[in-house]
Amino acid sequence: MKKIKLLFVTVLVLSVFFSSCTKDEGPVDMALVIGKWNFNKTSFTQGVITTAESEYSGNEAGCSKDYIEIKSGGVAKAGDYTSGCVLSQQEGTWVANGNSLKVTVTGSSLGGDFQVVSVTNTEMVLKITTVQSGITITVNQTFTKA
């Protein structure tokens, strides 16, 4: 009986110890968001199903990658390379609030209220949730620093 109690106490202590060792995800360093970011990979989530990451389909073959540039002072620029590698640029604004990034670029499909999932010196992951025809879809967009 002592062995069963000892085993029970050991399992209880270990489960408390291991469940309390998770790292809390704090706010991201929004200062790292400043810079020019190339569109790199995209995945989509609907319900509990997430597609595998794939190359961003908006980049024209043989051209530089489409990008978003987040500048200090709340200025945002979107760069889109069209066929023939012609660069089309639009300017807009951005505002950060916690881990949220609101981007508004007139004349561009880029814009909305993004959640900054992660950001480092070389990679940024944003996600945005939209409703299309009554279906909720989350777009997960990975950028690399230009």
pLDDT, residue 27, reads 76
Q: pLDDT class for 109, splitting at 50, 70, 90? A: confident
Q: pLDDT class for 13, splitting at 50, 70, 90? A: very low
Q: Which of 23-27, 80-84, 140-144 has the lowest mean pLDDT?
A: 23-27
pLDDT, residue 87, reads 97
Answer whether CATH 3.40.50.300 is correct for domain 31-145.
no
Spatial contact of 75 and 94, defined as CB atoms under 8 Å apart: yes
Q: pLDDT class for 28, splitting at 50, 70, 90? A: confident
Segments making up each domain of the chain, as ranges = 31-145
Sign of the four-CA dihedral 96, 77, 109, 57: negative
pLDDT, residue 26, reads 61
Kindly write down the DSSP assignment for every residue of 35-64, as one continuous string.
EEEEEEEEEEEETTEEPPPEE-TTSPTTSP
Q: pLDDT class for 25, splitting at 50, 70, 90? A: low
**What's the Cα-to-Cα distance from 144 to each of 2, 17, 21, 135, rounded to whole Å?**
58, 37, 31, 29
